[in-house]
Amino acid sequence: MFTLEQQLAEQVKQAVKSLYGLETETDNVQIQKTKQQFEGNLTVVVFPFVKAARKAPQMVAEEIGNALVSADNDKRIVDRFNAVQGFLNLVISPSYWMQCLQDITSSDNYGMQPANGHLMMVEYSSPNTNKPLHLGHVRNNLLGYSIAKIQEANGWHVVKTNIVNDRGIHICKSMLAWQLFGNGETPESTGKKGDHLIGDYYVRFDIEYKKQIKELMAGGMDEDTAKKGAPLIKQAQAMLLKWEQGDPEVRALWEKMNSWVYAGFDETYRMMGVSFDKIYYESQTYLEGKKEVERGLNEGLFYRREDGSVWADLTGNGLDEKLLLRQDGTSVYMTQDIGTAKLRFQDYPIDKMVYVVGNEQEYHFKVLSILLDRLGFRFGKDLVHFSYGMVELPNGKMKSREGTVVDADDLMAQMIADAREVSKDKVNKIAGISDEEAQEIARKVGLGALKYFILKVDPRKNMLFNPEESIDFNGNTGPFIQYTYARIQSVLRKAEDSITTGNLQISNDKEVELIQHLAEYPHVVRQAGQEFSPAVIANYCYQLACDFNSFYHDYSILGETDDSIKQLRLLLSHTVGKVLASGMSLLGIEMPERM
């Protein structure tokens, strides 16, 4: 279905050719929304045609306007026009808007693009198995999942993937602390989620490690030497080496503790409403990375230093030198990412690889792109690092090792509790609602508030998370949009007669504005896909909800006595609800039928 702008551009193109003999492309016809102080729905900028016409801009606008108004009846879109200097303001005919609304209503997949035959892999989450997910992970997961949904809506076949950082020195720190101080604790014996239990021991390692550093410094050792010489860090490094050598006791402990963490992660992901099609594990991909580094070393792409470590010289690319293997032969994140990329492109015919990772890793992905290309992988140059800003708190940055994080599970539980409290009076007014349904509404509203507050922000920007502001039922929030949707469903339930698509009549400009806004949805979905920005969808939904509430305030729906107008308003309400639900689903947000 061609958009209104595309149809008008084609008619303007034909008019310009007929009037002035000027050949132009429809893409070059400039069309924008009419400014509020002028009558009209869309405005054509006529300045590009003035030179060929050899007439004043006002005259050119009027001549093109007359050509559009006098078009054949079956092609006529423009009802009337007004010209203001070089701007042609067009009032679109009511019959066009009526047909537009009916087309939107009858479409099963309105706004969605047909399959384009290409595969996009989107990586997000990337947790470490030494701690539970926190607020920073929440933004990552919500962005990744929403981007995947938006790209699916734009015709891509999307594979959602996760790389779990399940090995390395940080994992060994938790393992060692549990081994030394855990007394055999398990999730069952403590009643804690496994990821929370392991996170406690990561914090415990840091506490004990700092004690040792302090003691060594008190004995006269400088800080750097104390950090390297503390017994705990040496034990953790020795454990990592044993792990890489396949020591059976270390591996058994690692598997047991990781299994606790995975069960905890799965519970968090389910509550958050995100999922993955394929999960990779660093423990399975780092060996492939080491093989590729060794190959690069043999081919002269990398070099080995005297201490045995392997490096890549990137000074020719305007960067510095990058460590690929430590002197003891253990790998680093870059090694793992090389191996993971290789395996992914073996597993899937990927056309575009997107990494959803915070902006503090921009340098890492520049290096990864160069190294993959240097190793001969054609996909190296084309990988996309979706770089997003950090989530900040009123009291500063989060530090996992110090236990000063906002835990994802606690945050979601608190948001649901807050939603239950804030909406208590509203929900209690709903006749016959059970406690279970009230709790389900609170879950949708609480998580919707969290998701919307995070996703409405330009993803490239740092953001300050404010739970109280996010749960407000007024303003640019998830609950405001959900409440608008629930209001629409209430109106439709109260309408005893079924909605028909015949015998409809547009009666005011606000109805036209709503239809025009609905007609923009496919363009908004495309824009969000091109920009990798859920914020584009979020803010569209907010503006649509605002427009509907303004209309609802000014005009009666169920109380309208003219049946043709009433039916139009019911159909319009139904369609606004349908598009709001579609847009919010691209953000991973569920819409309650009652609030």
Reported as a single tens digit per residue, the pLDDT across 476-507 is 999 999 999 999 999 999 997 677 777 889 99
pLDDT tens-place string over residues 389-427: 988 766 544 444 444 578 899 999 999 999 998 877 665
pLDDT at 2: 76
Query: Nearest 5 degrees, angle CA 533-CA 546-CA 151?
Result: 20
DSSP state of 461: S
- Nearest C-alpha neighbor of 419 from the set 453, 463, 470, 465: 470
> Taking every pair of C-alpha atoms in the chain, what is the biggest distance, in angstroms?
95
Interatomic CA distance for residues 211 and 209, integer angstroms: 5
Interatomic CA distance for residues 171 and 169, integer angstroms: 5
Find out whether 257 and 173 touch, Cβ atoms under 8 Å.
no
- Nearest C-alpha neighbor of 559 from the set 504, 498, 502, 495: 495
Count the neighbouring beta carbons within 10 Å of the beta carbon of residue 196: 19
pLDDT tens-place string over residues 79-102: 999 999 899 999 999 999 999 999
Residue-averaged pLDDT of the chain: 93
**Helices then strands (H, E): number in the chain?**
23, 14
What does the block give as tokens for 176?
């060692």
- Nearest C-alpha neighbor of 521 from the set 585, 472, 565: 585
Band (pLDDT 50/70/90 cuts) for residue 431 is low
pLDDT at 430: 66
178 vs 136, higher pLDDT: 178
Q: Is the pLDDT of residue 310 over 60?
A: yes
Tell whether the torsion through CA atoms of 377, 383, 389 and 390 is positive or negative: negative
pLDDT tens-place string over residues 157-213: 999 999 999 998 999 999 999 999 999 999 999 999 999 999 999 999 999 999 999
Interatomic CA distance for residues 271 and 546, integer angstroms: 29
Number of alpha carbons in the 13 Å side-chain half-sphere of residue 229: 13
What does the block give as tokens for 125?
């989450």
Find out whether 403 and 350 touch, Cβ atoms under 8 Å.
no
Count the neighbouring beta carbons within 10 Å of the beta carbon of residue 316: 7
pLDDT at 398: 41
Q: What is the mean pLDDT of residues 277-291?
A: 94
* Residue 21 backbone class (left: φ over 0; alpha: ψ -120 to 50; beta: rest): left
| Portion of the chain with pLDDT greater than 70, in percent | 96
Residue 320 identity (one-letter amino acid): D
pLDDT at 466: 82
Q: Is the pLDDT of residue 46 over 70?
A: yes
**4-92 to CATH, choices 3.30.1360.70, 3.30.465.10, 3.40.50.300, 3.40.630.40:** 3.30.1360.70
Say what angle helices 534-554 and 563-585 make with each other, to 10 degrees: 160
Q: What is the mean pLDDT of residues 26-31?
A: 92
Residue 231, classed as helix, strand or coil, is helix
Q: What is the mean pLDDT of residues 449-462?
A: 94
Interatomic CA distance for residues 297 and 312, integer angstroms: 9
Residue 386, φ and ψ in degrees, nearest 5: -80, 100
DSSP state of 175: H
pLDDT at 394: 64
Interatomic CA distance for residues 179 and 192, integer angstroms: 18
144 vs 465, higher pLDDT: 144
H/E stretch holding 8: helix 4-20
Q: What is the mean pLDDT of residues 438-453?
A: 95
DSSP state of 557: S
Interatomic CA distance for residues 239 and 374, integer angstroms: 33
- Across the beta sheet with 78-84, the strand order is 31-33, 42-45, 87-92, 78-84
* Parallel, antiparallel or unpaired: strands 119-123 and 87-92: unpaired
Q: What is the mean pLDDT of residues 565-569?
A: 95
Find out whether 541 and 479 touch, Cβ atoms under 8 Å.
no
Interatomic CA distance for residues 354 and 217, integer angstroms: 45
- Nearest C-alpha neighbor of 122 from the set 462, 458, 385, 390: 385
Interatomic CA distance for residues 269 and 267, integer angstroms: 6
Q: What is the mean pLDDT of residues 34-59?
A: 95
Q: What is the mean pLDDT of residues 234-258?
A: 95
Among all chains, which residue has been given the structure tokens 């034990």? 235
Interatomic CA distance for residues 271 and 283, integer angstroms: 27
pLDDT at 427: 58
Taking domain 426-586, whether its CATH number is 1.10.730.10 is answered by: yes
What does the block give as tokens for 303?
């070099």
pLDDT at 424: 74
Residue 126, classed as helix, strand or coil, is coil
Listed by start position, the domains of the chain span 4-92, 167-262, 426-586
User: For the chain, how many residues are written?
Assistant: 595
Interatomic CA distance for residues 277 and 38, integer angstroms: 51
Interatomic CA distance for residues 589 and 145, integer angstroms: 11
List all residues 6 or more positions away from 259 whose beta carbon is below 8 Å from its beta carbon: 194
H/E stretch holding 465: none
